[in-house]
């Protein structure tokens, strides 16, 4: 019952992981294959994304999948030390509101948290250690976010409703788990055609790796190639009239270290043996005079233990998707990178009371560009492709199937484990454990 998963981002890896849990002998017998066209995994969205996870920020068609996925993220992290290995932490989410006159929209005068903010460390709430007090303001907001004139951080969700992780590290963990169980990963590898048996039925894929071509037999094919999914599908099924309505949306990101976030922030609600539990913060900002786009900033503590701040939100919808993810860095527009860097300094650089401009005392860890797979419906496609739509004369052998899991847009990290779990159920003939009927192709 070999399954070939085309695309080794977080969706392909999550599916392989749950498939290997549901049917361990498949993995052990090397019957799960992840095929990726790039020279390495995680050179695309799943390697550069922010790792914000939400429980119920989704439209109704995705809500049960969103809740399942949020629960699976928590359970996976708790069972496997995810807080250390991939920075899984509960989060508090704020939105920054700035009054056009430079006056806080919900507070005024000296009560404005951002006017007094960064220097109120000593008055921090009841944290269990001195470490927390240095890194948070009196009202619990993070000290790494620089005071903005007239700005107010408005709480939009708290612990239990959102969390965060380092997506690349979660993917690496999933990848290692899959490999340890026997799944095979093939990089620099393209599926070029379907291959048919003597009876004319589809029995696998023709693969090309390092200029060599070979046939790989399989029962099921899952296309989980992110923004490349429509391209992969139409290459394999050129006669299909089905159009996979997913578009690429390029997004820049930056990760920095800040002197105001040099130690993890501890969760003040945890005590005793849980006193060292971390807490992350997410701050969503609308465009202002200082930045013309809507940045998102997230704090996290990756496996090296060094707290860092991720920022993104600067996108380019006109950028063409390259042939492979390896070619993405060459597309980086220096002006756009600079624009994101400047916004990062304005949001998190050093500022003394009364200063209008923050100073750059940040250390850049990395900058990046990647492509989100954005579906035109606004919801991902998680579906078996009806055989009748694959094209004239295409019939699968052994009741196998072609599946798609893609189009997660800005929510692929959050929805990853839920998607992988229900896709593994579908691939093994089980009923999906949550209702995804509105995400299926008709
Ligand atoms: C800047 C930014 C920030 C984000 N922040 C968040 C966030 O905070 N929370 C959240 O939930 N989501 C976030 N997202 C969205 C999330 O990153 C994506 O939805 C998710 O990573 C998509 O995963 P994927 O596996 O579908 O695609 P990808 O990660 O793009 O993986 C696709 C894989 O397919 C491979 N591939 C391409 N062509 C072929 C081919 N022909 N054959 C074989 N393989 C192929 C690629 O090399 C790649 O490895 C963010 C996205 C961006 C861009």
- CA–centroid distance, residue 248 to ligand 1 (Å): 10
Please state, for a pLDDT cut of 70, what percent of the chain lies above it. Answer: 92
Domain 89-163+248-374 fold is: D-Amino Acid Oxidase; Chain A, domain 2 (3.30.9)
Q: For 45-77, write each residue's pLDDT tens digit.
A: 999 999 999 999 999 999 999 999 999 999 999
Which of 27-36, 265-274, 372-381, 384-393 is predicted least confidently?
265-274
* 348 pLDDT more than 90: yes
Residue of 6, 168, 225, 409 with the most ligand 1 atoms within 8 Å of its CB, for mutation: 225
Q: Give yes or no for residue 7 CB within 6 A of ligand 1.
A: yes
- CA–centroid distance, residue 324 to ligand 1 (Å): 12
Residue 191 in 3-state DSSP?
Answer: strand
CB atoms within 10 A of CB 176: 10
Q: What are phi and psi of 409, to 5 degrees?
A: 50, -125
**pLDDT at position 122, please?**
26
Q: DSSP strand E in 218-266: where?
A: 220-223, 246-257
Query: How far is the CA of 106 from the CAs of 103, 111, 145, 157, 271, in angstroms?
Result: 9, 10, 18, 17, 32
Q: Give yes or no for residue 45 CB within 6 A of ligand 1.
A: yes
- Distance CA(166)–CA(171), nearest Å, equals 9
As beta bridge partners, residue 366 has 255
User: Class of the 3-83+166-245+378-439 domain?
Assistant: alpha beta
Q: How far is CA 219 from the centre of its chain?
A: 29
- Distance CA(91)–CA(359), nearest Å, equals 27
Q: What is the rounded average pLDDT of the residues 378-393?
A: 95
Residue 262 in 3-state DSSP?
Answer: coil
Q: For 175-193, write each residue's pLDDT tens digit.
A: 999 999 999 999 999 999 9
- CA–centroid distance, residue 246 to ligand 1 (Å): 12
pLDDT grade for 271, boundaries at 50, 70 and 90: confident
- CA–centroid distance, residue 161 to ligand 1 (Å): 23
- Distance CA(335)–CA(420), nearest Å, equals 37
Q: Give yes or no for residue 36 CB within 6 A of ligand 1.
A: yes
**pLDDT at position 132, please?**
55
Residues whose CB falls within 8 Å of the CB of residue 205, separated by 6 or more in sequence, listed in order: 4, 191, 192, 193, 194, 195, 215, 216, 218, 221, 236
Please give the residue that has the higher pLDDT: either 19 or 30. 19
Mean pLDDT over the full length of the chain? 90
- CA–centroid distance, residue 47 to ligand 1 (Å): 7
* 2 pLDDT more than 80: yes
- Distance CA(6)–CA(2), nearest Å, equals 13
For the packed helices 10-22 and 167-181, what is the interaxial angle rounded to 10 degrees? 40
- 325 CA: nearest ligand 1 atom: 47
| Ranges of each domain in the chain | 3-83+166-245+378-439, 89-163+248-374
Contact 379, 200 (CB under 8 A): no
Please state, for a pLDDT cut of 90, what percent of the chain lies above it. Answer: 81
* 107 pLDDT more than 80: no
- Distance CA(172)–CA(147), nearest Å, equals 36
* 441 pLDDT more than 70: yes
Q: For 278-297, write each residue's pLDDT tens digit.
A: 999 999 999 998 999 999 99
pLDDT grade for 354, boundaries at 50, 70 and 90: low
**pLDDT at position 368, please?**
96
- Report the run of H or E that residue 193 belongs to, with start and end: strand 189-196
**pLDDT at position 355, please?**
75
Contact 27, 139 (CB under 8 A): no
- Distance CA(218)–CA(328), nearest Å, equals 31
- Distance CA(396)–CA(217), nearest Å, equals 12
Q: Which of 14, 164, 23 is nearest to 86 (CA)?
A: 164
Q: Give yes or no for residue 225 CB within 6 A of ligand 1.
A: yes
- CA–centroid distance, residue 408 to ligand 1 (Å): 8
């Amino acid at each position: 019952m070999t399954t070939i998963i085309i695309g080794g981002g977080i969706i392909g890896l999550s599916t392989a992981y749950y498939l290997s849990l549901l049917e361990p002998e498949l993995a052990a017998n090397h019957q799960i294959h992840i095929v990726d066209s790039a020279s390495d995994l995680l050179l695309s969205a799943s390697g550069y994304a922010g790792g914000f996870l939400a429980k119920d920020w989704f439209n109704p068609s995705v809500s049960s999948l969103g809740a399942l996925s949020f629960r699976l993220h928590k359970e996976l992290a708790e069972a496997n030390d995810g807080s250390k290995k991939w920075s899984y932490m509960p989060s508090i989410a704020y939105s920054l509101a700035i009054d056009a006159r430079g006056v806080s929209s919900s507070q005024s005068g000296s009560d404005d948290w951002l006017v007094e903010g960064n220097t109120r460390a000593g008055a921090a709430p009841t944290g269990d250690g001195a470490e927390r007090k240095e890194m948070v303001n009196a009202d619990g907001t993070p000290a790494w976010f620089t005071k903005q004139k007239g700005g107010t951080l408005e709480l939009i969700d708290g612990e239990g409703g959102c969390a965060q992780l380092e997506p690349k590290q979660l993917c690496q963990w999933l990848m290692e788990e899959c490999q340890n169980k026997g799944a095979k990963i093939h990089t620099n590898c393209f599926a070029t055609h379907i291959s048919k048996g003597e009876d004319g039925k589809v029995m696998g894929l023709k693969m090309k790796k390092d200029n060599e071509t070979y046939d790989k037999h399989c029962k099921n094919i899952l296309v989980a190639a992110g923004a490349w999914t429509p391209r992969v599908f139409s290459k394999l099924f050129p006669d299909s009239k089905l159009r996979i309505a997913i578009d690429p949306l390029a997004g820049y990101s930056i990760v920095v270290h800040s002197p105001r976030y040099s130690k993890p922030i501890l969760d003040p609600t945890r005590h005793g043996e849980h006193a060292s539990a971390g807490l992350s913060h997410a701050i969503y900002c609308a465009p202002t005079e200082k930045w013309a786009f809507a940045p998102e900033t997230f704090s996290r503590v990756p496996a090296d233990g060094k707290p860092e701040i991720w920022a993104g939100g600067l996108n380019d919808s006109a950028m063409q998707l390259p042939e492979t993810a390896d070619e993405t860095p060459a597309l980086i527009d220096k002006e756009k990178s600079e624009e994101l860097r400047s916004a990062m300094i304005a949001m998190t650089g050093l500022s003394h009371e009364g200063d209008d401009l923050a100073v750059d005392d940040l250390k850049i860890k990395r900058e990046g560009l990647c492509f989100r797979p954005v579906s035109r419906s606004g919801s991902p496609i998680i579906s078996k492709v009806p055989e009748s739509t694959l094209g004239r004369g295409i019939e699968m052998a052994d009741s196998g199937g072609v599946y798609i899991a893609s189009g997660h847009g800005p929510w692929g990290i959050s929805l990853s484990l839920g998607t992988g779990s229900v896709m593994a159920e579908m691939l093994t003939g089980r009923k999906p454990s949550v209702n995804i009927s509105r995400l299926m192709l008709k």
